[in-house]
Amino acid sequence: MVLMSAGERHPAAGRVRFGSRDSRGRYPVAVDVRPAGHVYRTRRAWWALGLGDNVASEHRTRAAALAGLVRLVDSRDDAAEALARKMRRRTEAPEGWTLSTWHEVRPGAVVRTPGICRRVEAGSTDGLLYPELWGDPVQLTRIEHLPNGCVLAYGLDGETPAWLGMGVLLSTPAYAELGVLVPGTEAASRIGT
């Protein structure tokens, strides 16, 4: 049953469903058929409390409290979608390329390394990264696997030193974990000749 008066219609009204008021005077609310939290009234305000939240948000009307829960659900859905997209970026290769590891490539192989990486979750300290951008193709001339998990790679871009003209790239353990791209699926079976 939708519990709204005629004067309190809001844009998300079709998405919101109420349950019966509980012993604490709170109405359970579902948004898009999923439990979203509760709304309740005190003397002067309506409050919206999302599932798993400890602090409720204050609103002037019941419709505003409902809209607050809808926004909360939408923002959580957006965050979950962004997280899933970033995690996919860790395992997807651009067209014409295949993901490989630093242990599988050898000198002579043409690779693309992560150019710009971002944390999967902002503020996270777990070090999990995803590649936002891959660098240009580089031909490896030497690879060193350091004891601390870093990879030191040397390469050329045509006849000139690769990686901004320095010819050397130090991949931290988090970058090295992302691996490298190698050309196509055919090349993956014979990485580095």
Q: Is residue 108 part of a domain?
A: yes
Domain assignment of residue 77, given as a range: 6-87
Q: Is residue 104 part of a domain?
A: yes
Q: Is residue 82 part of a domain?
A: yes
Q: Would you report the helix, strand and coil content of the chain in percent, each value rounded to 5?
A: 25, 35, 40
Residue bearing tokens 């609103």: 59
Residues 61 and 80 in one domain: yes
Residue bearing tokens 């196509």: 184
Q: Is residue 49 part of a domain?
A: yes
pLDDT in tens, 72-90: 999 999 988 988 888 888 8
Half-sphere exposure in the Cβ direction for 148 (13 Å, CA)? 7
User: What is the reported pLDDT for 13?
Assistant: 62
The one-letter amino acid at 8: E
Q: Is residue 151 part of a domain?
A: yes
- Of the residues 87, 118, 153, which one is the last residue of a structural domain? 87
User: What is the reported pLDDT for 7?
Assistant: 47
- Of the residues 69, 87, 105, which one is the last residue of a structural domain? 87
Q: Is residue 193 part of a domain?
A: no
Q: Is residue 70 part of a domain?
A: yes
CA distance 22 to 159: 74
Residues 126 and 68 in one domain: no
- Of the residues 87, 112, 130, which one is the last residue of a structural domain? 87
Residues 128 and 161 in one domain: yes
Q: Is residue 92 part of a domain?
A: no
Q: Are residues 27 and 17 in contact, defined by beta-carbon separation less than 8 angstroms?
A: no
User: What is the reported pLDDT for 181?
Assistant: 95
CA distance 181 to 101: 8
Which tokens in the block code for residue 9?
């219609």
Residues 39 and 68 in one domain: yes
Q: Which three-class secondary structure state does DSSP give residue 134?
A: strand
pLDDT in tens, 57-66: 999 999 999 9
Residues 109 and 83 in one domain: no
CB-count exposure of residue 75 (10 Å: 0-12, 13-18, 19+): exposed
Positions of the chain with pLDDT lower than 70, given as ranges: 1-13, 122-127, 185-193
CATH number, position 140: 2.30.30
Q: Are residues 139 and 109 in contact, defined by beta-carbon separation less than 8 angstroms?
A: yes
Q: Name the domain count of the chain.
A: 2
Residues 73 and 112 in one domain: no
CA distance 10 to 62: 10
